[in-house]
Amino acid sequence: MYIKGVGMTKFDYSQRAWWDFAYEAAIEALEDAKMNISQIEAIVFTGMSSAAGGEHQTHKVSFLSDLFKTNVPIIETPSVCGGGGVAFWTALHLSGFKNILVIGSEKLVDNQSDIVVDWILSAAERVIEQTEAMIFPAQNALIWQKYAEKYGATMDDLSLIAFKNHSNAALNPKAYFYKRPLDLEKIKNSPVVASPFRLMDCSLSINGGAAVIVSTEESDIKVVGSGFATDYLLTFGRDDITHFKATKIAAKQAFEEAKIKPQNINVAEIHDAFTSVELISYEDIGFAEEGKGNELIRSGKIDLKGSMPINPSGGLKAKGHPISATGLAQIYEIVNQLRGKCKERQVTNPKYGLTQNIGGAGGSVTVHIFEKI
Amino acid sequence: MFYKCLKCNKTWPYNIKKCPFCFEEIIKVQSNEMKILACSKINIPTLLHPKVPYFTLLVEDENNNKYAYKSSTEKKIGEKITYNKEDNAVAIWRKKYDSEEAIRKTLDLINNPIQENIKILILPTLISPNHEYFRDNTSPNFIDSVLKIILEKTPKENIKIIGQSFNDVPIEASAQKSGLLDACLKYNIIPEDLSKDIFIKQNNLEISEQAINADLIINLPIMKIGKISATENLFKLLSKNSYSALKYLHSEPEEIIIKQINETFSNKVLTIAEADNVQGIDKFNRYLGLVLASKNYLEIDKVFDILTMNKKSHRVLENININNISIVGRDIEEVQHNTENIC
């Protein structure tokens, strides 16, 4: 399968309707693909819903039919933060269609943060874990504590990840932190939210949309590897609590299909919902040996001017994390990097790009590999 | 509590009935020792956890099962979590999908006052002919679990389930619609209408003779925010005439009834309160996921009032000092949340 076009809105807190984010991203993708909607034979959509409930819509497929004036099959594949990747994976595995439009959009942040956070927390287990205060920052802070205890990584390593991603986002016009870089000291001294995590270790819940058109017809970008795996919702019921097994499985599937190695990747977008998740993912994907992810961030190799930049878009951390749209926004960045269209944040001559999108705390993970033809 | 397949040893935190690999029965495995593996201090309030700071712990039991645990106090890595047991305390425990285990745990925490071979009168809440999801009446699953536990101690012949309607709706209608009737019939026990009982006059109040003669009255209120559900449920032990007369002739009828109940039944009321999805003042339900148990029904009402952060407490609770109530099991701070919000 090939990528014909990509689109993405700016990630922000604007209070446009959920479908407006979807529509803008889809139109950009169609224009990028030099197509119109009549050439789309199926649509895959992913999204949560409005936190405050004003725009709750559980029949989005019919809404999208109305919006795009089409009667093609439309399916919805919700998988919270991993929804974009799962929708894309679904499109790749749908047979019998030439052009499929994949859309992710969220207008999740439409109320005070207590309400929005509570809605996001429905992506974790409510009765057993949430009641015991296993909110996402706590969950990842506890995973990190066990990881750090096992391998000796430090909070300074995580601050370097936040610094890198904020520096990259400052160069991305569609990122929330565009033209607003943060200095390392400010990151290191931000308030502690869930010890040892500070505010600047956490990504940014935001609104936005992204879209990708996949096609059986050849284009300049080929999807050469695709992997998808799931894992238990209760993070601490898993065998190894210091790594994400679903990422390991999905990455293995994607690399085997692509017939390349992690060292062949030139640029990657990794799911940095928390700085620790990015670091652990270096190892789960195969960019670093187990326990040596901190060496990768310390080396500068994954900085924008390094040999394999990670999260040149600014990542979820500083571009922003509109939940279901994130996975497709990662593909938007990689496609544009492979095409050499990223201006100030352009990576030098990449051939292979990778995206890793996670739902919840490693509960559903997709890994995709793209090749510039 | 964990649920394990005897054949393949796979373990679940959910109370499933059969293993999907072996199709074998599942056994329950208790967590008796909880050792702390990691601790994170949380400084950001959420709807379910409004008071900060608090601590989210990662704990491990003796079978290497790991899970989350909220604590109101900081704990050290390696420290163990233990619980006190006390006869006259209010026990609080989380339900986590399994009513039976939560009820067993609360009873254990107050040194289970249900003796063997005693005559037991069970008084569920039965007040309206509504489906279970309204949370008006004691849930079928809750009374099912209570009956299962009691029948381990005393034969069916010693158990009576009673109810009384103080309005025009017969208790049979409430029992049938709520599903409580089917839960009782599973054990071949038919709920009885107490209005047909003999009532004995005590200090101008008519009180059920069956209740007076029972060894133990198990009060099974379904808790409702802003109400004294545990206390009010016991009012059904009075005759309808007595209750109506008090209600319309006195400004503070609850105090008179409470005084009489305390005099008549002194130490033979055990309250096991259902506080899972609880009805709010606006009649919409809030998730709480708790079971409470105590020999003191008023203290249960007070504790429930505090842990639901109710702002308009019932008059009879005003003079009860929460600091004078012994709490066992979970701390109030660990389970308390603002039920003004529906979440």
Does residue B63 sit at the A interface (CB-CB below 8 Å)? no
Q: Is B75 an 8 Å CB contact of chain A?
A: no
* pLDDT tops 60 at residue B166: yes
Q: Residue B309 — left, alpha, or beta (φ > 0 → left; ψ -120 to 50 → alpha)?
A: left
Mean pLDDT, residues B206-218: 96
The proportion of chain A whose per-residue pLDDT surpasses 90, expressed as a percent, equals: 92
Amino acid at A113: S
Residues 173-232 (B) with a CB less than 8 A from some CB of A? none
B249 touches chain A (CB under 8 A): no
| pLDDT at residue A165, as a whole number | 98
For residue A194, the chain B residue with the least C-alpha distance is B42
- Listed in sequence order, the residues at least 6 apart from B173 whose beta carbon sits closer than 8 Å to its beta carbon are B129
User: How many Cα neighbours within 13 Å face the side chain of B241?
Assistant: 12
- pLDDT band at A247; cut points 50, 70, 90: very high
For residue B342, the model assigns a pLDDT of 63
Residue type, A298: R
Task: Verify whether the Cβ–Cβ distance A114 to B46 is below 8 Å.
Answer: yes
Q: Is B68 on the interface with A (CB under 8 A)?
A: yes
CA A371 to CA B178: how far, in whole Å? 61
CA dist., res. B300 & res. B297, Å (int): 5
CB distance A236–B43 less than 8 Å?
A: no
Binning pLDDT at 50, 70 and 90, where does residue B157 land?
A: very high
**Residue B187 clears pLDDT 60, i.e. is over it:** yes
A57: alpha, beta or left? (left if phi > 0; alpha if psi -120 to 50): beta
Average pLDDT over residues B279-287: 92
Nearest to B40 among A114, A195, A241 (CB): A195
Supply the pLDDT for residue B315: 93
Q: Which are the catalytic amino acids of A?
A: 81, 321
* pLDDT band with cut points at 50, 70 and 90 for residue B338: confident
Beta bridge partners of B29: B2
* Residue of chain A nearest B334, judged by CA positions: A132
- What local confidence, expressed as pLDDT, does residue A177 receive? 98
Q: Does residue B273 or residue A113 have the better pLDDT?
A: B273
Q: What percent of chain B has pLDDT over 90?
A: 88
**Contact list, B41 vs chain A (CB under 8 Å):** 192, 194-195
Is the separation of the CB atoms in B288 and B308 below 8 Å? yes
Q: By the CB < 8 Å criterion, does B67 face chain A?
A: yes
Nearest CA in chain A to B46: A114
- Grade residue B203 by pLDDT with cuts at 50, 70 and 90: confident
Task: Quote the minimal CA–CA distance from B264 to chain A in Å.
Answer: 39
Burial class (CB in 10 A: 0-12, 13-18, 19+), B231: buried
Per-residue pLDDT at A51 exceeds 80: no
Residue B277 has φ and ψ, to the nearest 5°, of -95, 115
Average pLDDT of the residues in A218-235? 97
Q: How far apart are CA B75 and CA B77, in angstroms?
A: 7
> Mean pLDDT for chain A?
96
Which has the higher per-residue pLDDT, A340 or A110? Answer: A340
- Name the minimum distance, in Å, from the CA of B51 to any CA of chain A: 11
Q: Is B13 on the interface with A (CB under 8 A)?
A: yes
Query: What is the predicted pLDDT for the residue at B59?
Result: 97
- Pick from A127, A191, A234: CB nearest B97: A127
Q: CB–CB of B215/B120 below 8 Å?
A: yes
